[in-house]
Amino acid sequence: MNLEKILLKNATVYDGLGSDSFISDILIESGIIKEIGKIENMDCEIIDIKGNAISPGFIDVHSHDDIALIVYPEMDFKVMQGVTTVINGNCGNNVIPRYGTIERWQTRYPKSSLPQWNSYREYIDLINDIKPSVNSAFMIGHGSVRNGCGLKNEERNPSNSEFDQMKGWIREGMEAGAVGFSTGLIYEPGRYSSTDEIIELTKEISEFSGVYASHMRNEGSNLLLSIEETLNIGDKSETSVEISHHKISGKNNWGLSNDSIEMIHHAIDKGMNVNSDQYPYIAGQSALFAIHQNNAFTDGDGGLGKVDGDKVIIAHSPLTSNYEGKKLSQICDDFDLDEQQAAEKLLSEDPHILAIIETMCEEDLTNILSDQYTMIGSDGVPASGSNPHPRLYGCFPRVLGKYAREEKIISLETAIYKMTGLPSKKFNLNDRGTIEVGKSADLVIFDPETINDVATYENPKQYPEGIIHVLVNGSFVVKNSKHTGKKPGKIIPRS
């Protein structure tokens, strides 16, 4: 039998471009889609898809798997939901220079000893040697390079030599194949940088057609000012823009999605390339330190709006794991403290706590999801021994099940386009994201009638229903809804 070939029969094909689906067979040879159409049986592995859906593998544009690729190379939480490529380096955090970023990553995996790397090339070689189950691309993190040049938590502009150092890393990253540059402007050290600093740094990625992705300064009462800043950075640096996890945070601000979407459309009408990404949940996840620092438990005038204690769940608390899974309101009762005091007590015991916070509403969520320029990104944060946000396990099936099939907010074709063809174009991953002859065989086969997320806030580590097979570079990483243990993934450079 020819082991280089796989024939998938009787599939309902969704091409990733939003076109109407059609019934077809697909032949894969040596990891590439070789033929689409009616294909006679041949001497190779033949799988009957039985009319189920086949689409390009999902591209998770908002991932934080930079180190998870090393610690959990099977990447089960992603491939079991149909993700075949993760885009890392979001919210200002990537991996270079290692000393500027490793402390933060180590807190997520306190028991793992992480290997050395000294450059983007070495990080790429490391991941390609490990061969995770999923492909990955990466962005350069502003926070990482700002920390790296000695500006950790320094509330001042960089000197000329510090600028040169940061630009050097950004250029090195782009030359190594990075797809963009990201900021995290509610976090340290991003929050201390001026718009001009970011414009000057973002100019470095323009000639490489990189994407500027931003976790903006404010997603609450000053959301529209933040969108204006982000668009201004893209305009001045002549760069494609991505608004990370587009949301409206804080009850007083609900409804602002009409205005934020209008601003995006206006910029596009003027000729800019702008998109946003979104996860399909009304709760987010962030560092408790940052939630507290942004006044979410007092006046709510920071980047997240005001957050109530019964809408906060402790997700990851490496030094005090007994708090994991508890609501902040419960901890307040236990210690007879108000929310601000309880958060301060928790942070004094463990400064690296991650918390799930419910601050959004369904109307804004579906409004943003319906926008043609919105892509899907899980923003899942893998960490050892934690109670993660369920988006880490369920993001993509939730869009396909709850929001496309059940609530009919968008069609199945459109939902798939937002996870495949749109992100591959945005990030210049031209070999992926569509089902066409000659493209890499990153594919997902699922049952459109049953696909659904199963992960909940109470019990998040649950694989979704309805994902049948997943192929990465032509190899089955999921077969009959089970992880095969295969690890055919690699770093994909910008094309």
CB of 379 to Zn ion, least distance (A): 6
Q: How far is CA 116 from CA 90, 170, 243, 367, 392, in A?
A: 21, 20, 32, 44, 26
CB of 72 to Zn ion, least distance (A): 20
CB of 182 to Zn ion, least distance (A): 9
Q: How many CB atoms lie within 10 A of CB 153?
A: 10
Taken in order 96, 99, 103, 106, is the CA torsion positive or negative? positive
User: In terms of Cα–Cα distance, which of 349, 323, 327 is closest to 339?
Assistant: 327
Query: Is the link from the previous residue into 97 a cis peptide, with omega within 30 of 0?
Result: yes
Which run of H or of E encompasses 236?
helix 223-237
Residues 6 or more apart whose CB falls under 8 angstroms from that of 123 comprise: 95, 96, 117
CB of 271 to Zn ion, least distance (A): 27
CB of 284 to Zn ion, least distance (A): 8
Angle between helices 257-269 and 223-237 (to 10 degrees): 20
CB of 253 to Zn ion, least distance (A): 17
Instruction: Order the strands of the 274-278 sheet from edge to edge.
Output: 58-60, 83-88, 135-141, 180-184, 211-215, 240-243, 274-278, 374-376
CB of 215 to Zn ion, least distance (A): 3
- Cβ-based nearer residue to Zn ion, 166 or 381: 381
- Are β-strands 58-60 and 467-472 bridged in parallel, bridged antiparallel, or unpaired? unpaired
- Cβ-based nearer residue to Zn ion, 89 or 460: 89
- Cβ-based nearer residue to Zn ion, 91 or 151: 91
- Cβ-based nearer residue to Zn ion, 213 or 256: 213
Q: Tell me how far apart the alpha carbons of residues 142 and 113 are, in angstroms, rounded to a whole number.
A: 25
- Cβ-based nearer residue to Zn ion, 97 or 190: 190
- Cβ-based nearer residue to Zn ion, 173 or 377: 377
- Cβ-based nearer residue to Zn ion, 49 or 186: 186
Q: What number of residues does the chain have?
A: 495
- Cβ-based nearer residue to Zn ion, 246 or 418: 246
- Are β-strands 467-472 and 475-479 bridged in parallel, bridged antiparallel, or unpaired? antiparallel
CB of 262 to Zn ion, least distance (A): 23
Chain positions contacting Zn ion, by CB under 5 A: 91, 215
